[in-house]
Amino acid sequence: MKRNLLMNRLEHLPTLRIQPRQTLTIRYNGKNLRGYAGDTVASLLYGCGERIFSRSLKYRRPRGLYSLDGECSNAMMSVDGWPNTNAETTPARHGMVVTPQNVVGSLEWDPMGWMDHLAFVMPAGFYYKLFHKPARLWPLAIKGIRQAAGLGKLQPEATFDCRCDAIYPNTDVCVVGGGPAGMSAALAAAENGLRVVLLEARPHLGGFCDYRVRAEKGGMPLYQWVGALADEVRATENIRVLTHAPVVGVYPDQRITAFQRGSAADVFDLRYIEIAATSVVVATGCIERPLLFASNDRPGIMQIGCAHRLLHTYGIRPAANAVFSVAHDLGLEAAIDMHDQGVTVHCVADAREDGQDPQMLSALAQRGIPHWRGWVAQVAHGRRQLRGVTLSNLTGTFKKRIGCELLVASAGLTPLTGLVTLAGGALAFDHHTGFFLPQRLPPAVQVCGRIRGLHDPSSLSADGTLAGLRAAADCGLNLNREIARAEAAGAAAPGAVRGSKLAMAPGKGGKAFLCFDEDGTVKHVQQAMAQGFDVPELIKRFTSIGTGPGQGGMPGHNLPLVVAHSQASPDSDPQPTTIRPPLVATPIAAYAGGKHDMAKRTPMHAEQLTAGGRMERVGEWYRARRFGADPGAQDEIIGVRTNVGLLDASTLGKFRIFGPDAVKALQRVYVGDMTRTVPFRTKYAAMCNEDGCVIDDGVVIQTGENDYYITTSTGRAGQTVEWFRYHTRYDSWDYHMVNLTDAFGVINIAGPNARQVLAAVTDADISNEAFAFSTCRDLLLRGDVPVRAMRLGFVGELSYELHVPASYMAAVWQMVETAGQSLGIVHFGLEAQSTLRMEKGHVILGSESEQRTTLHDIGLGFLWCRTKPEAKTVGGAALRHTADQPGRLKLVGFKMEDPRSRAPRDGSPIVDARIRGYVCTARFSHALQEPVGMALVDDDLVRPNTRLGIYEDGCNGTLRHAMVVPMPFYDPKGLRMRM
């Protein structure tokens, strides 16, 4: 190996994109390897002499650098613990730790390499067939397959220090592709005063001209020409350039998603980009179509652009000597440049018989590089790495074997049309270019450049300008004259280039890979076709060709071509397979973005934390589950039952509804009769959906003429206004709603001593006579703070619910705490509240109900007023139809047969021979000194003393037993809350 020679970069090339003065070191497989700022992980490894990058998925064949744009899984590695990171698109950073994956031994010698020789037992579709029968084989097979299959290893315990964020730019024109055509389009649109976003997948603008030194007609080298274009783009204020930002998808109304990789200088490592544009210009250009021949995957075989960019962009001579097998002038150009930089080019096999650029041919001749028309690589030699290649003419009658380190192989170009398809455009095969060309573009989508088969720089810029103007016209500008002029300029420039339609090299035998990701070969396609699959779409699925990380990129063109070639009627046009987003492999972290978990905090969040509150998320809110270590919250429960406790109930939904038709709206959504409200008396009311299933409960208080204050459950607050408006959408009623959920904090003072506490903070008469159960009063606390107080009985004790303006809440909380201090007031949380209300048989919707539970099922049928059909109550008809419907789950109370046993776990099924219901909530009752609970059970199990079998996780079939008992368990007459 002449590795020492290769360590040295060509430092003085004008096209370099690395900084030869800034070195960096990465750790690779236990070695420290040196590279330069601007290197990708792949270019750094290649520059340090690494040739085998990975082992393939199925056959464990060695794989090397093939493209440089992450088009296949060859260069997938684990980078700083991130599996399946494509080394080709990952910038090298100092200190990175890179390890190869899918390897048991070493890359050079993998004990799983024998898989390659077993290929004959793994024909296309073998997974579907081999393990299908007998079924008992499957459990054995699955173990081995799972171990061998897949790429990369997840490390569930690993955490990643990744700076992720997101941007949501709005723009008039979004140009995808920063090559000459895309940049021309961006400039044309920007000149007309429009906002333009230009997205480029590579870290720099310039596209396929960025690394080319060939002079064009003006005499300026191409890299200088696109460099000047890029400077102009960057200097244009209304063009926003986002580089290293591959597009993931395009969606209706010109919405585009992409993600961007940040450098150390950026504030992000990964940035999710979602663009809303008025018009999209697709200038994604072309990638190369892999040449299909035996062992076309050997390390040492690479595409034209890969070799050319290694040389000119990264200053790496890819090898000491090379053979070219190409079908495009770009290949001839690369061979010339390679020769000029000291690589021995043995010969250039050109699959085209004619059509070459005469200038190129004379340049090859000048350098003494043989150019063989109508020749192509047939077999690659060498086991782990390329040692040579056998070339043949297109009919396979003449052959010649040449030793070489590098084979630059390419069957031609193929346009990147994924965005066009996703946007709703169609593709049709074009016989002149050999491309699938965009046809019938959807509105406000323009295409330009190489994607249309153009190649000449003057054509690309003219075409880009035209597309930019058309995009500007999509945004509403009248540019008919300018467009006509640009059309004329485009027509005068050279047209689409004739392309190679070569499908396969001649000869049989060996593995010619269509898809490196999935180890899919030409033979697999033929096997699939022999079994009757006739369209590429189905063959893709049967062979899994094009379903790997690279998606349809590399095989997307070759598969239809090979299928069409192998078909009985070879005249039929190739049909492309369907493209779906994501167009590029996208890290999940990019989708997660930055801060995304937005939660609400009550005005007493901090105070509760200070008091020892254990907060948890309940819907959008943080709430205190309990105070202190006891998961059963025993002290809190006993405190409320025997003394007084304090609960933050601020998350309740709260609304004002007013206006002449307010009562009609209430009648529509509440099942009760809302015409019979008494001012400042709390009315417990429920809402059902159309099926009569209960969705919400709360109180309704009339506070004035056509003026009401209502509360809803925490979870429904966000949808309440929407629900009212939806169910009155045809009625044009005059009523208004204000969401006051966050405007008021709610303190619940509950317990036999609650009145003493409240009396200490207000001068108002709050005796049982002046302020009775089920009423509401507007009070002043300490003569200053206005609160709305209600006497409700959710936890079954004397209690006051104070609705306090949120900004006063902290002060009032403190006031009440201080007032209750001498009594030993306790804080209580959701756990205590849930046990307390359960002892009273009060339901919490969602705990004691599920989606199918009607008002009747949970014993709240009395809330429904059946004599107001004119209100067209939501759920009214269903409640009528289901009032006595058999076969429903009904809510019952139960006690355990053994009162000394613990309460069963919430959600445990109730069973006999089959499932008969489930436990909703069950807790140890301190009031009764035994476990009690509520369950939804089949309607034949509702009678008291019915025995229920409870199945708990891990009970091994040993049921626990409970008896149905009447509810409520505690204070059945409700005297305590009326004290």
Partner 1 sequence: MALSLTCPICGLRNGYEFRFGGADKGPRPLEEGLTPAQWCAYAHLNTCVAGVQLEWWNHKDGCGTWFVARRDTRSNREVPKEDVQ
Partner 2 sequence: METAPIERSSPVSFAMAPEQLVLRGDWPVVLRYPHEGAGPWLVDLSHGGKWDFQSAALDRLAPRGVVLPERPGACACAQGILCSRLNPTQAVAWHIAGPVPSPPDTCDVTDVTDAVALLGLVGPKLLPTLEKLTALDFVKPARAAPFILQGPVAHVPSRVVCFATPTAAASALIISCARGYARDMVDALLEAGKEFGLRPAGELAWTAWIDTIDYKKEAA
Residues that bind partner 1 (CB under 8 A): 249, 251-253, 255, 257, 274, 276, 424, 690-691, 719, 721-722, 725-727, 729-731, 869-873, 876-878, 880-881
DSSP state letter for 405: S
Site residues for partner 2, 825-854, by CB under 8 A, read none
The 10 Å Cβ neighbour count of residue 368 is 8
CB of 866 to partner 1, least distance (A): 10
Q: CB of residue 678 vs partner 2: minimum separation in angstroms?
A: 21
Nearest to 407 by CA among 349, 354, 337, 329: 349
CA distances from 382 to 347, 388, 389, 392, 507 (A): 19, 7, 9, 18, 18
Q: How far is the CB of 681 from partner 1 (least distance, A)?
A: 27
Shortest Å distance, C-beta 736 to partner 2: 4
Cβ 168 to partner 2 shortest distance, Å: 4
State phi, psi for 745 to the nearest 5 degrees: -90, 155
Residue 742 is a binding residue for partner 2 (CB under 8 A): yes
Select 663 or 950, whichever has its Cβ closest to partner 2: 663
3-state secondary structure of 350: strand
Shortest Å, Cβ 668 to partner 1: 9
651-710 binders of partner 2 (CB under 8 A) = 656, 658-659
Query: Running DSSP on this structure, what letter comes out for residue 807?
Result: G
Residue 3 contact partner, candidates partner 1, partner 2, none, CB within 5 to 8 A by sort of partner: none
Which of partner 2, partner 1, none does residue 429 bind (CB under 5 to 8 Å by kind)? none
**Region binding partner 2 by CB under 8 A among candidate stretches 22-30, 209-217, 368-376, 806-814:** 806-814
Q: Where does this chain touch partner 2 (CB under 8 A) — which range of 58-66, 197-205, 411-419, 596-604?
A: 596-604
β partners of residue 350: 326, 373
Angle at 392 between CA 390 and CA 395, to 5 degrees: 150
Residue 681's binding partner, choosing from partner 1, partner 2, none, with beta-carbon cut-off 5 to 8 A by kind? none
Closest by alpha carbon to 649, among 523, 748, 769, 771?
748
Query: Interface with partner 2 includes 731 (CB under 8 A)?
Result: no
The answer to whether residue 734 forms part of the interface with partner 2 (CB under 8 A) is yes
Choose among partner 1, partner 2, none what residue 725 binds, the Cβ cut-off being 5 to 8 Å by kind.
Answer: partner 1
Output 265 or 629, the one with its CB closest to partner 2. 265
Contacted entry of partner 2, partner 1, none for residue 948, CB cut-off 5 to 8 Å set by kind: none
Nearer to partner 1, 669 or 789 (CB): 669
The minimum distance between CB 613 and partner 2, in angstroms, equals 16
CB nearer to partner 1: pick between 782 and 880: 880
> To the nearest whole angstrom, how small is the minimum distance from the Cβ of residue 810 to partner 2?
5
Is 780 a binder of partner 2 (CB under 8 A)? no
Rounded CA-CA distance 494/496 in Å is 7
549 upstream amide cis, omega within 30 of 0 = no
Nearer CB in complex with partner 2: 296/762: 762
User: Which pair of tokens denotes residue 384?
Assistant: 């782990």
Binds partner 2 by CB under 8 A, chosen from 259, 744, 894, 969: 744
Cβ distance 755 to 749 under 8 Å? no
Write the Ramachandran bin of 866: left for phi over 0, alpha for psi from -120 to 50, otherwise beta.
alpha
* 730 contact choice in partner 1, partner 2, none (CB below 5 to 8 Å, kind-dependent): partner 1
Considering CB distances under 5 to 8 angstroms, the limit depending on partner class, which of partner 2, partner 1, none binds residue 240?
A: none
Least separation, in Å, of the C-beta of 244 and partner 1?
22
Distance CA 794, CA 810 (A): 24
CA-based diameter of the chain, in Å? 113
The amino acid sitting at 10 is L
User: Can residue 49 be called a binding residue for partner 2 (CB under 8 A)?
Assistant: no
Find the binder of partner 2 among 165, 456, 616, 971 (CB under 8 A).
Answer: 165
Q: Shortest distance, CB of residue 729 to partner 2, whole angstroms?
A: 14
- Binds 676: which of partner 2, partner 1, none (CB < 5-8 Å by kind): none
Q: What share of the chain is helix, strand, coil (3-state, %, to 5)?
A: 25, 30, 45
Cα radius of gyration (the chain): 37
| 163 in contact with partner 2 (CB under 8 A) | no
Q: Cβ of residue 719: shortest distance to partner 2, in angstroms?
A: 12
- Residue choice 113, 418, 490, 603 for contact with partner 2 (CB under 8 A): 603
Interaction of residue 598 with partner 2, rule CB under 8 A = yes
Fill in the amino acid letter for 961.
H
Nearer to partner 2, 396 or 594 (CB): 594
Candidate list 483, 760, 764, 911; residue touching partner 2; CB under 8 A: 760
Residue 807 touches which member of partner 2, partner 1, none, C-beta under 5-8 Å by kind: partner 2
Q: For residue 739, count CB atoms less than 10 angstroms from its CB and return exposed for 0-12, middle for 13-18, buried for 19 or more.
A: middle
Q: Any idea how long the chain is?
A: 979
Choose the binding region for partner 2 from 31-39, 386-394, 601-609, 859-867 (rule: CB under 8 A). 601-609
Eight-state DSSP code of residue 578? P
Q: What residues does 655 pair with on adjacent strands?
A: 710, 739
Q: How far apart are CA 92 and CA 24, in angstroms?
A: 8
Determine the residue type at 533. F
Nearest to 314 by CA among 3, 19, 5: 19
Residue whose CB is less far from partner 2, 501 or 654: 654
Nearest distance in Å: CB 693, partner 1: 11
Closest CA to 421 of 290, 517, 553: 553
Q: How far is the CB of 588 from partner 2 (least distance, A)?
A: 18
122 near partner 2, rule: CB under 8 A: no
**Closer of 871 and 977 to partner 1 (Cβ):** 871
Give φ, ψ of 5 to 5 degrees.
-60, -40
Residue-by-residue DSSP string for 25-93: EEEETTEEEEEEET-BHHHHHHHTT----EE-TTT--EE----SS--SGGGEEEETTEEEEETTTSBP-
Q: In what order do the strands lie in the sheet with 164-167?
A: 164-167, 270-276, 255-261, 247-251
**Cross-strand bridge partners of residue 249:** 257
Nearer to partner 2, 600 or 916 (CB): 600
Residue 785 contacts partner 2 per CB under 8 A: yes
**What's the rounded Cα separation, in Å, for the pair 462 and 467?**
9
In terms of CB distance, is 170 or 822 closer to partner 2? Answer: 170
HSE-CB of 519 using CA atoms within 13 angstroms: 23
Angle at 137 between CA 133 and CA 140, to 5 degrees: 150
Give me 558's structure tokens. 């070759």
Which residues sit at the interface with partner 2, rule CB under 8 A?
165-170, 172, 195, 267, 274, 276, 594-603, 620-621, 656, 658-659, 734, 736, 738-744, 760-761, 782, 784-785, 805-811, 815, 818
